[in-house]
Structure 1
């Protein structure tokens, strides 16, 4: 069996244990930068994934994430941020992580080889026809990930597969393949490093583009955030003041009328009632730009 590129020996890893700390750290940093550079050739593929995900959510569907081990952790990190960043309800963004919550406290390798776990997790996700599932596997051969992809497609789900090895099974299976060819790791096989960095950056980019497509980002502000703690309430007020071009006091007053919802508060600050703001946003598909231009 040919050695996968993620398992290959890095050309600069020989003697790593004996090098001075500053040399090791510099090498590790260079490897991380190189991993990020590997994302650039995938920009067109990432745009296709974001468009599919945004369309699913726009129609009331779901955007799921799935993976095992380090790749699953990268998927989980992005998935968990969607509610706080873009106001997406967690029931619309299900997460399938091999081993579930227990694996987050003590990760074991066996769970990634169990297809039955993948099938059970997919069933619990309630993903169906028209939904989108992002599946991550550095090697592109993880049984949990491959089972998720195949079973989801059988349900009519569009599968976006993220892998770090060209020609891997996940990329061949996926409807929307994303190759992040990061190559050998400085610590051979430790895909939490370069491969994980590239995956995390790619997911950050996809989710932000989805947020833009849905109108949840305006002028770089998170305008669909719901303020539910002191930090977010302060951020929400600053967003309303900046976008609506009103004072902080006016922003606070508008947010009090919309129960902390930023988008309608921006319109309330410009003179609409909360009910009128909701109707206007429904008509614009949640996008503020055309409403502010009026």
Structure 2
């Protein structure tokens, strides 16, 4: 039985305050012009929704200077051995876990180098974990378990910019000396204020009131794509626009590996196969063997000395001569 003072009571001051906070958020705004959307033909609804999505890229574009600064700061820390950690709840948390899980096969990152934390843990990826997003303490505990420190970057992801789990993660990380980034979809958010770098992508009210898995989720996915991808470019994980650090863990990626070596070097199929055999299937090393005229062990040594940057290793191998 509820008492009027219980946080769960419809009449509680806490619930009333929360309701007022949500009503003030752009992402929660009601759009009366869409009140009859359920009565429209399917094609009309799809057309409206597609038009809504078309504006997301522009909203992200408006925040590119802030994003670039955050990427440069992240890359500098990761170059020192730091980690990139995403923390969020619900859709925001799932997007962070997704981006983190795609880094090892795409960029051959080490286990634990890019981490996705979601409020409620792994079960929350497929099932809502009641109350998990409301716990700042849970986020602090998750980060403490990782031993987050000054070389790490923690990205709190929250469409509203007020989710306690994301806020708690950023607050804990900042005290620990880590770089902090707050990614939200409301201007002047508590999350942005708590972080070193605020990236507030304002996409406006959703097609379905408060359903931030829509435009807000799309915006978050675009930003996380850029954050991880450009950081990896800065770390030397690519050669031009080729994924030379790809991990060939299945037949499709093995085929892609051969194609990347051929595109980077212009080598024949036989030369490509020989270089990959010489380097144990390592694409970056194989490219250096072919363009730098070195053997596999020398390629590995040069890449280690250059911090994994293929262009720098190639410059050393060729004495600065064009390859």
Please, what TM-score do these two structures have when normalized by structure 1?
A: 0.95
Ranked by relative contact order (alpha carbons within 8 Å, sequence separation 6 or more), the top structure is 1
1:266 is aligned to 287
> Does structure 1 residue 275 correspond to structure 2 residue 297?
yes
Counterpart CA distance in 2 for 1:122 and 1:284 is: 31
Does structure 1 retain, via aligned residues, the 8 Å contact 2:93–2:116?
no
Does structure 1 retain, via aligned residues, the 8 Å contact 2:156–2:170?
yes
How far off is 1:100 after superposition?
A: 0.7
2:83 is aligned to 62
Which of the numbers 77, 80, 83 marks the counterpart of 2:98?
A: 77
1:168 is aligned to 189
Which of the numbers 142, 150, 155 marks the counterpart of 1:129?
A: 150
> Does structure 1 residue 32 correspond to structure 2 residue 62?
no
1:147 is aligned to 168
1:197 is aligned to 218
Where does the alignment leave 5 or more consecutive residues of structure 2 unmatched? 1-19, 316-321
- In structure 2, the CA distance between the partners of 1:154 and 1:19, relative to structure 1 (3 Å rule), is same
Does structure 1 retain, via aligned residues, the 8 Å contact 2:123–2:129?
no
> Does structure 1 residue 96 correspond to structure 2 residue 117?
yes
How far off is 1:287 after superposition?
A: 2.0
Q: What is the number of equivalent residue pairs in this alignment? A: 294
Larger Rg: 2
1:89-126 CA-to-partner distances (Å, cap 9, x unmatched) read 13111221111111112123421012232122112222
Counterpart CA distance in 1 for 2:219 and 2:31 is: 17
Where does the alignment leave 5 or more consecutive residues of structure 1 unmatched? none
2:11 is aligned to none
Does structure 2 retain, via aligned residues, the 8 Å contact 1:95–1:125?
no
Residue 199 of structure 2 aligns to a residue whose secondary structure is: strand
CA RMSD of aligned residues (A): 1.5
- In structure 2, the CA distance between the partners of 1:10 and 1:77, relative to structure 1 (3 Å rule), is farther
